[in-house]
Structure 1
C-alpha cells in the first residue's frame, strides 16, 4: 500500500485481505454472540407493526431469490432481505452499541452478512470474518466522530452504517481492494439519518439500520460491476466528517494505522433491556438497589439520576412526554419511565414497552418522582450515578457504569426474544446452530428460519 493511500483505500485493502486465521481469539469468540443477539432481535421485532410493514415491502420488492426472509417462507434479493432484517432487528432498540459514538453495529452488520453470505453460499469462516470487518469499521469511523453526529442532529448509525455494511458485502463478494475502496466511496454517499424521530416517536430510527445494510450491499454490487466511487470520502476535501460535523478528518494513520494489530470492534456493548443504551446502566443500578434494600415504590420519595449533558435531550427532555410515553419508541427513550419500571418490577423486558405497562398508575406515579441532573464531568462512557431518597429520609446511592459482557444474560435475552416468534424447540435449535460449534452454521440458520413459519 502506497504511503499516500487514502483512508478508504487502506481500510479497503485490510478488509479485502483479512482471513480468519489472522483474527485473534478474543474477537472470534464474539461472532456467535453477535449473531445470536441479532437473530433474537429480528424474532422479537416480528410481532410489531413496523415489522409487518417491512416484511410486506420485502415481499413486494422481490428480486432474485437468493436470501431468506426470516419466518416468511420465501426468498428475495440480498439487499432487500438486509433492509427488512436490519430494520426489524433495530425496532425494539435492543441491539448492541458503541458507547463512544452510540453507533448500533449489529442490526446493520449482521443483517448484511447473513443476506450476502447466504446469497454467495459463503463458507462459515468468511461470513464470520466479514462480520468482524464490519464491526471494526463501525468502531473506528464512529470513534473518529464521537458523539458529534448526534450533537448535529444526525443518527450516527445511519451515517456510519452504510460504510461498515459495504465492507461486509465487499468481503463476501470477494471484491478486490480497489473495488472495495470504490464501494466505500459509494456507500459514503448513502450515509444519512436525522434525529427527528426523538420528537414524536416515529419509526425512521429503525429504518436507518436496515437502510444502511441495504445501501452498503448495493454500493458493493455497483463497485463489483466497475462503478467508480470517490477515494477521499474519509479524508479528502469533501469527506464525511467535514460534511456532517464540520470537523477535520482523522489522518489515514490515525484511522487505519494499527488495523490488524489493535481491534476496536469488540467494544460494542450488548444491551440487556429494551431502552436507549445510555439508560441501561441506570436500570442495572436501580434493580440492584431494589434487591439489596427491598425497595418498593411507596417507600420512595425521589430519585435523582446524574447524567451526561449530551444524553439529556435524548432520554430526559422534554420532560412531559418522558413521564407518560405514548408509544413504544417514547418508552424506549425515557429515563424516568424505564427506571420506574425497574424499581417497580425488578426487571425491564419487552412487555415494558407495551400499552398495558405504559398505562400502569404505579409506574407513571413513580416516574414523576424520578428526575435527572446534568453533570458536565460525565460522558466518558455510559457513566453516572443514581440516588434514591426514601420517605424515611434515608438516601441510597449507587454509581452507574456499563457492566462487562454477560453470556448468561445474553442467553436469557435470546431465549426470551426468540420465544416471541418461535416455539421452544425452534429457539433451542437456533441457539445450537449459532453457538454449538466453533462458528455459527450459517447455512443451517437460514434453513431453520425459513421452515418455521
Structure 2
C-alpha cells in the first residue's frame, strides 16, 4: 500500500492543507449555527448535577492553565474544560445531528478547540476553520462504518468524536499532514463508547473522553509520537477491530468539495433525532382527539432499536418512543421539562405510555415515522411525517436557532458574539461572556 492509498494520509493532507479561503459562505455560516446551538445546549444544563459531578471529579487533577466552563464560574485546564463542556453540550440530547450516522458533530469537537484557543490565543476564524475540518473528518469516518457500527453497540458520537476532536485540534495547532495523520492514528487507540450505556451517566464519560482524548492525540502528535499508517482501516485497525470493513471512499472521496457537515441538522426537541417525526406526528394528531384506546408507532429498525425500551428514568425518556408519544399527545409539547423525572412520573403521561406499541416498517426512511391512533369509539387517525422539524428537508431557521438559544438561558450579547466569532482576534472576550459570574 502506498502513502496515497491510506485513508489517514488523505485526511492528514485535508486537515493541514485545505485553504483558509476554501470554505463557502454557506458552510462558514453553518459552522456558526452549529456553535450557537452548542453553546445554548451547554448553558441550559450548566448547573445540572451531572455537570457539577464531572467538574468535582476533574478539578483536583487540573493543571495550572485555566479555560472557561460554559455557564459556570469555575475554570479547568484544557483537558478538563474539554471534558466537562462536552458533557454539558450533549447531556439533554438537544445537540445537533448528522442523520445518516446519528453523530452529534459539535459536542466532542468544539470544546477542545475553544479551550485550546482560549489558552493559546488563536483567533475566532481559526477556531471556525478547525471546527469545520474536525466535524467533517468525524462524520466521514462515521459514514464509512454506518449503519453497522452503531447497530453493533458502539456509541458513534463518542467513537468518531475523538477523531473529529483530534483533527480539529491538529488544524488549530498548525500540524503538518504527517503529524495530522498521526493524530488520527493516536485517536484510533482512544475511541470508545457503548450504546448500552446511553441511559446512564457512563455515556457522559464516553463523551467527555472523546473531546479530551482528541486534544491529547493532537498534542502527542505535535510532540513527535507516532502511529500506524492504517490505524483507521487496516486489517487490525480501528474499523475492523470494531467489526466493520470501512468504505474508504466515503472517507476520502470528494474531500473539500462535498461536505458531510453541510448536512448537519438541529433539534427543536430535547430527544433523540429519530423521535422528532414521532413527536411531530403526535402534535398533528392531537387536535380534537378523543379518548385513546391504542397507539401504534411505525418506523425503521433504528427507531425501534433506539426507542422501544423499558422506561426507568429521565435519560430513558429522551430516547423512548412511548414517552415522546405520551407527552406530545397529553401536553401538546415536548420541551426540556417534558423529559424530566417529574414528567416520567406523571400519572397521565404514564397511562398514555402504556397504550403505545412500536412496529417495524422498513419502507420508511431513517428519521420518518407513522403514528396510528385508535380511539375508544373504534375510529382511527393516522399521521405520517417524513421531514420533521429541524431535518434537512425542514431546517430550523437562524431565528428559530436563536429562540432555542435564548430559551436555554443565552443572552443577546452572547448570541452576537457567536455570530461574529470569525471577526475576533481571539476567543477570549467571547468565552468571558459565557463564564458565570
Fold match (TM-score > 0.5) = yes
* 1:262 paired to 2:281: no
1:273–1:348 Cα contact (<8 Å) kept: yes
Distance across 2 between alignment mates of 1:439 and 1:282: 40
Asked if the contact 2:136–2:261 (Cα under 8 Å) also holds between the matched residues in 1, the reply is yes
Q: Which residue of 2 aligns with 1:363?
A: 349
Q: Contact 1:385 / 1:399 at 8 angstroms: preserved in 2?
A: yes
The 10-residue stretch of structure 1 (402-411 or 31-40) with the greater mean CA deviation from structure 2: 402-411
2:278 maps to: 282
Separation of aligned partners in 1, 2:234 and 2:351: 53
**Alpha-carbon shift at residue 446 of structure 1 (Å):** 0.7
Name 1:423's counterpart in structure 2: none
Distance change (3 Å), C-alpha of 1:3 and 1:175: closer
In the TM superposition, 1:171-182 aligns within 5 A as 171-182=171-182
Deviation at 1:221, TM superposition (A): 0.4
CA distance in structure 2 between the aligned counterparts of 1:381 and 1:255, rounded to whole angstroms: 21
CA contact (8 A) 1:19 1:126 kept: no
TM-score (norm 2): 0.93
Cα distance per residue 1:362-411 (max 9 Å; x no partner) = 11111111211112333x42122112223343322222224332123322
**C-alpha distance in structure 2 between counterparts of 1:412 and 1:347, whole Å:** 16
* 1:196-207 alignment runs, 5 A limit: 196-198=196-198, 201-207=199-205
Q: Whole-Å Cα distance in 2 between the matches of residues 328 and 108 of structure 1? A: 23
Question: Which residue does the alignment assign to 1:434?
Answer: 418
1:342 to 328, 337, 340: 328
- The C-alpha deviation readout for 1:68-104, integer Å capped at 9, x for no partner, is 2233334332121101100121111111122211111
- C-alpha root-mean-square deviation of aligned residues, in Å? 2.0
Quote how far apart the aligned CAs of 1:303 are: 1.8
Question: What are the superposed Cα offsets for residues 33-55 of structure 1, whole Å, 9 maximum, x if unpaired?
Answer: 11111111111122321111112
- What aligned pairs does 1:398-413 form with structure 2 within 5 A after superposition? 398-402=383-387, 403=391, 404-407=394-397, 408-413=399-404
TM-score w.r.t. the length of structure 1 is 0.90
2: CA distance, partners of 1:271 / 1:72: 24
Give the gaps of 5 or more residues in structure 2.
Answer: none
Matched, 1:314 2:311: no
Given the superposition, is the C-alpha separation of residues 229 and 437 from structure 1 closer, same or farther in structure 2, using an over 3 Å criterion? closer
Are residues 66 and 437 of structure 1, via their aligned partners in 2, closer, same or farther at CA, if it must alter by over 3 Å?
closer
Aligned residues: 429
Compute the displacement of 1:31 (Å): 1.5
Q: Decide whether the 8 Å contact of 1:179 with 1:223 is kept in 2.
A: yes
| Corresponding residue of 1:241 | 239
Q: Deviations over 1:261-304 (max 9, x none)?
A: 111112222112111221112112211332xx333xx5322221
Contact 1:163 1:216 in 2 (8 A): yes
TM-superposed CA distance for 1:3, in Å, is 6.4
Stretch deviating more after TM superposition (328-337 or 234-243): 234-243
Aligned equivalents of 1:72, 1:168: Cα separation in 2: 25
Where in structure 2 are the equivalents of 1:134-173 lying within 5 Å? 134-173=134-173
**Secondary structure in 2 aligned to 1:4?**
helix
Tell me what 1:36 maps to: 36
Runs of 4+ in 1 over 3 A off after TM superposition: 436-442
- For residue 59 of structure 1, report the CA deviation from its aligned partner: 2.3
Q: 1:213 aligns with which of 198, 211, 214?
A: 211
- Structure 1 residues 209, 390: CA separation in 2 closer, same or farther (over 3 Å shift)? same
